[in-house]
Amino acid sequence: MTSAQFFTTLLLAFSLPLTGQGCSSSVATTADDSASPVSAAPAQPPALVRVDIIRKESVAPEFRALGNVRPRHFSVIASGSDGIVDEFPVEVGEFVASGTLLSKLRMESTDLDLAEQEAVVVEREADLAEIQTPRSEDVDEAKARQQASDITYANAERRLEELRALGKRGAANLSEVKDAEDNFDAARQNQVAARAVFQKISTGARPEQKQQAAARLEAQKKHVEFLKAERAKRLTKAPFDGFVVAEHTNVGQWLAKGDSVVTLAQLDEVEVQVQIDQQFIDQIAPGRPVTLMIQGTGNRNGAAREWKGEVSSIVPRSNWEGGSRSFPVIIRIKNEIDTSTMPPIPALREGMMAEAAFAGQSIDAVLVPKDSMVRTSRGTFIFVVNPPTEGQPPSVRQVMVEPGLSSEASIQVTGENIEPGMQVVTEGAERLRAFQSVEIMKQDAGVGVQDSGKKQ
């Protein structure tokens, strides 16, 4: 064998295994390609979900607001006069009835002045009585003087007639006749005067004098009434039934006219003022009932108790200058006061926080369970079960919705192709994709949905 033949044989010996290995690799690759459809991942199984029925009902918008309990009537009771407090018989927290004495100022000078002026009234009453009814003794005296003047007049008249008759016969001189005439004239004047005095005394004082005396008496009585009113101002009394919630003075303190004595709150009926936003204010009207939840009002377990109130008024002005668009709404509540204790204990007290729940006008709405809502950055949507297809598992479609009013565990939605009676996914929706197959879990008794997703 030549050298060329040897090297050719050696080259063939080394090349045969390599060629065989390449052929095996080619066959293996072909086998893998043909087997790839068999080894692919299996299809995803239906998602397990729970569903409920979309329904249409009449619902009313509900909105809540917080406010504070306050007395319907409260007053800072002030002193009506100047003076030093002599009595202060009430304490803070005490219940006082209308007319109860709250404070008393010193009365010495006031009582003395009042007693003096009452004595003047007695004096002027006597003066008026004196000129209105003459005394019988004065009348008798005037009558006697009149009768005496009548007698004197008669004697003077008779004496004058006698002397005139004698003078005609020359038996009396002219001087005697002249004296008799003068005596007769004097007797006649005395008679006129006596009759006038009798008439004056028997009829009493002139009407003008009586009116003046009556006016002086009336003026004095008014002055006494004024002093009594001034004295009453020194006694500060409760203007209504209520609770003393603050003290502003004490015994020995000087009170000027108008200074505060106590703050009195009337709690038999209370008010709660809440702020209602502009979008809801047209849903509220005076007289409408309101439900309020207030803690510390008799449950003794810390839980809030439900109270029924009524809208009393709506203030038609918001604090728009400060940037607010809410309007004050005043709610009135009848309080409960436990009178078995002393002092009585009111259930609702000033300053308690109250949560008011309002219900607006009812509207027809499409409702879905709140658990069916899926909120994302793209918006809010629900998964509605598609109509069943024979031989195929149920599937769902994604529907974008706009949430609306809430009604307990349901919420109003608006969207395309949503009808009452459709099924909506309530559990498992956050894992779903559009048109994904689902397996509907059995519902609790009474829901009426089968595994297949069809209504029973």
**Predicted pLDDT at 243:** 93
Helices (H), 352-450: none
- Check if the beta carbon of residue 66 is closer than 8 Å to that of residue 383: no
Q: In whole angstroms, how far apart are CA 317 and each of 69, 278, 281, 325, 360?
A: 21, 11, 11, 9, 21
pLDDT tens sequence across 292-348: 999 988 777 778 899 999 999 999 999 888 888 999 999 999 999 988 888 888 999
**Predicted pLDDT at 126:** 92
Q: Is the alpha carbon torsion for 297, 302, 307, 311 positive or negative? A: positive
What's the helix, strand, coil split of the chain in %, to 5?
35, 35, 30
**Predicted pLDDT at 8:** 42
**Predicted pLDDT at 301:** 78
Q: Where are the beta strands (DSSP E) in 342-447?
A: 345-346, 353-359, 363-369, 374-376, 379-385, 396-400, 402-407, 410-414, 423-427, 438-440
pLDDT tens sequence across 380-408: 999 999 988 888 889 999 999 999 887 78
What CATH number has the domain spanning 48-59+364-440? 2.40.420.20
Q: Comparing 39 with 375, which gets the higher pLDDT?
A: 375
Asked if pLDDT for residue 42 goes beyond 90, the answer is: no
**Predicted pLDDT at 417:** 87
Asked if pLDDT for residue 369 goes beyond 60, the answer is: yes
Q: For the packed helices 108-132 and 207-233, what is the interaxial angle rounded to 10 degrees?
A: 160
Asked if pLDDT for residue 27 goes beyond 50, the answer is: no
pLDDT tens sequence across 435-456: 888 988 886 544 444 444 444 3
pLDDT > 90: percent of the chain: 52
Mean pLDDT of the 233-246 span: 94
User: Exposure of 332 by Cβ count < 10 A (0-12 exposed, 13-18 middle, 19+ buried)?
Assistant: middle
**Predicted pLDDT at 327:** 94
**Predicted pLDDT at 443:** 67
Mean pLDDT of the 361-378 span: 90
Q: Comparing 5 with 88, which gets the higher pLDDT?
A: 88
Asked if pLDDT for residue 19 goes beyond 70, the answer is: no
Domain spans in the chain, listed from the N-terminal domain onward: 48-59+364-440, 114-227
pLDDT > 70: percent of the chain: 87
- Check if the beta carbon of residue 422 is closer than 8 Å to that of residue 368: no
Asked if pLDDT for residue 133 goes beyond 50, the answer is: yes
User: Exposure of 430 by Cβ count < 10 A (0-12 exposed, 13-18 middle, 19+ buried)?
Assistant: exposed
Mean pLDDT of the 262-272 span: 94
Cα 240 to Cα 263: distance, rounded to the nearest angstrom? 12
Give the confidence band of 216 by pLDDT, cuts at 50, 70, 90: very high
Asked if pLDDT for residue 17 goes beyond 50, the answer is: no
According to DSSP, residue 387 is labeled P
**Predicted pLDDT at 10:** 38
Contacts of 103 (CB under 8 A, 6+ apart): 79, 85, 87, 88, 235, 236, 249, 255, 261, 262
According to DSSP, residue 301 is labeled S
**Predicted pLDDT at 444:** 57
Q: Comparing 378 with 11, which gets the higher pLDDT?
A: 378
Asked if pLDDT for residue 118 goes beyond 90, the answer is: yes
Mean pLDDT of the chain: 84
Asked if pLDDT for residue 266 goes beyond 50, the answer is: yes
**Predicted pLDDT at 43:** 60
